[in-house]
Amino acid sequence: GRVSNNFQFIDVGRNDPKKKNMRARKSQYVEIYDPFTKAQVEEQSERCIECGNPYCEWKCPVHNFIPNWLKLVAEGNLFEAAELSHQTNTLPEVCGRVCPQDRLCEGACTLNDGFGAVTIGSSEKYITDTALAMGWRPDLSGVVATGKKVAIIGAGPAGLGCADVLTRAGVKAVVFDRYPEIGGLLTFGIPEFKLEKLVMQRRREIFEEMGIEFHLNTEVGRDIAIDDIMEDYDAVFLGMGTYKAMQGNLPGEDLPGVHKALSFLIGNVNHNMGFNQPDGDYVNLRDKRVIVLGGGDTAMDCVRTAVRQRARQVVCAYRRDEENMPGSRREVKNAREEGVEFLFNRQPTEIVNYFGEAGGVKLVRTELGEPDADGRRRPQAVPGSEEVIDADAVIVAFGFQPSPAAWFSDINVSTNDWDGVVAEEHQEFRFQTSNPKVFAGGDMVRGSDLVVTAIWEGRQAAEGILDFLEV
Ligand code: FAD
Ligand code: SF4
């Protein structure tokens, strides 16, 4: 046990789950990591030195009780570990899969200095996956109904986090989403090789058992009027994400053969899941030479989807160097292993028009200049260094901006100068908007960020709503 050997971390190293073989990785839409085994989780748990002030907990955006649930698993109390893990996180099995742990919990682990961090993410995933498979369900036996009901617009991680906390406090949560399945970008953005679709389908069933009501295929402002929602509910939470793709303003960006990253990914998910979609939304890159422009999580998901579609060649061009890529290092490594070529310090200046279609990308070399306001070094073009890389398809992954609904002004919800909804954590009612009855959180408030930060804001907004409703 770990009490008898506090120096376990010296003899036993960090351990990552095994990856599937390369043939499977290059051709199948399945998660690339095998599940962590019981023995592996126990071994990692025993490496945890239970430092007095656990840095991992502080750095984790939802402040998971990491050392405590690791200890419960090692003691054989899996169901208690799952219950504890759900006290702070609405989707622990999802975060275990998709959080950039190297920048969050594991990056802050005391052992990360020299010994290798405790493998936290895979353990978190193991606890919930295994407990659910063994029949564990969240314990809501003590919940007393308050008679209040709240409408939640958006079934992404922010909306689900909000619904979870409200339900556990006896408030009825009714969730509206325009898509045919819950999850938001977890279902329609993040591909299967990071997060298989069954994970969210299973979650929907659990949420429904908890009493959360979902109205899918229902777009607020089109299929149902916001005025009706405002009238019928005691409060409203907005968790609608950011869906306006940022443009590069490049000559040729409108040519056939140039695709927006998210449309490409959503088209592929719909194709794989058999959902109806208008003709032409599914793009097939088989045998094509593909260039993806951008260096974030979305760009990595595009290059790796292109590999699985059996593109002939997949190149990622990014304007900074590898050190300064914004996404998870683990996924860059995975992309490279799967055969993606990276061109760093390259900025696109034009999409080449080849007989009316995209025929390649003109790239200029960059050098990193002075740090900008965020402290990131700004890339500057090196004159005379242009080159053309031939391609049959170009995918633009420059990020997203909020896309405010036309009805925000009808209900007096204010936005800021970059179209984000104004709602802050540190005010009397957490994440309240300029309309006292309306709360908001996730990407539409903070700008595109992470699953775990969206969950946190949704959960915090639920606390704000509970205070507002005085329940
Ligand atoms: P969303 O997940 O966008 O959910 C918003 C929901 O609102 C959607 O389901 C939408 O249909 C619905 N909606 C919007 N308007 C309406 C309306 N009028 N009526 C009804 N419904 C509406 N983060 C990570 O932590 N790790 C990763 O590996 C990662 N990879 C990513 C890969 C891609 C390709 C992308 C695009 C993002 C990735 N992210 C990742 C970021 C992460 O997915 C988002 O930060 C997170 O999903 C934001 O949650 P949200 O609830 O705010 O919004
Ligand atoms: Fe780490 Fe994310 Fe889990 Fe927090 S939620 S412990 S950051 S994997």
Tokens of residue 338, six digits: 């799967």
User: Which residue do the tokens 């890339």 mark?
Assistant: 379
Q: Strand pairing partners for 421?
A: 415
CB 56 within 8 A of CB 109: yes
Instruction: Report the distance separating Cα 296 and Cα 79, nearest Å.
Output: 36
Sequence-ordered list of residues with C-beta below 8 angstroms from that of 6, at least 6 positions apart, any chain: 49
Instruction: Report the distance separating Cα 74 and Cα 44, nearest Å.
Output: 9
Q: Label each residue of 358-386 as H, E or C.
A: EEEEEEEEEEEEEECCCCCEEEEECCCCC
List all residues whose CB is within 6 A of at least one atom of ligand 1. 98-99, 153-159, 176-179, 184-186, 189-190, 194, 219-221, 239-241, 262, 265, 297-298, 301, 405, 442-443, 448-452, 454
At 377, the pLDDT band (50, 70, 90 cuts) reads confident
Question: Which string of DSSP letters, residue by residue, matches 95-142?
Answer: HHHHS-GGGTHHHH-GGGTTT----HHHHHHHHHHHHHHTT-----TT
Q: What was the pLDDT predicted at 326?
A: 87
* Of the candidate ranges 124-128, 164-168, 260-264, 325-329, the one whose mean pLDDT is the lowest: 325-329
Angstrom distances, CA of residue 416 to CA of 206, 410, 440? 36, 16, 13
Instruction: Report the distance separating Cα 164 and Cα 141, nearest Å.
Output: 14
Domains annotated for the chain, with CATH where assigned, are: 8-133 (1.10.1060.10), 149-243+401-469 (3.50.50.60), 247-398 (3.50.50.60)
Instruction: Report the distance separating Cα 347 and Cα 120, nearest Å.
Output: 36
Question: For a substitution probing ligand 1, which of 106, 185, 292 has the most ligand atoms within 8 Å of its CB?
Answer: 185
The three-class DSSP label of residue 321 is: coil
CB 442 within 8 A of CB 156: yes
The three-class DSSP label of residue 346 is: strand
At 6, the pLDDT band (50, 70, 90 cuts) reads low
Q: What is the pLDDT of residues 118-175, one digit of tens each?
A: 999 999 999 999 999 999 999 999 999 999 999 999 999 999 999 999 999 999 999 9
Q: Strand pairing partners for 260?
A: 396
Whether the complex's predicted ipTM is more than 0.90 is answered with yes
Instruction: Report the distance separating Cα 234 and Cα 304, nearest Å.
Output: 44
Q: What is the pLDDT of residues 85-117, one digit of tens each?
A: 999 999 999 999 999 999 999 999 999 988 899
Nearest ligand to the C-alpha atom of residue 109: 2
Q: What was the pLDDT predicted at 1?
A: 40
Strand ranges (E), 382-437: 387-390, 393-396, 400-401
At 3, the pLDDT band (50, 70, 90 cuts) reads very low
Q: Which atom of ligand 1 is nearest to the CA of 444?
A: 52
How far does the centroid of ligand 1 lie from the alpha carbon of residue 186, in Å?
7
260: number of Cβ within 10 Å? 19
Instruction: Report the distance separating Cα 73 and Cα 38, nearest Å.
Output: 9
Q: Which amino acid is at 224?
A: I
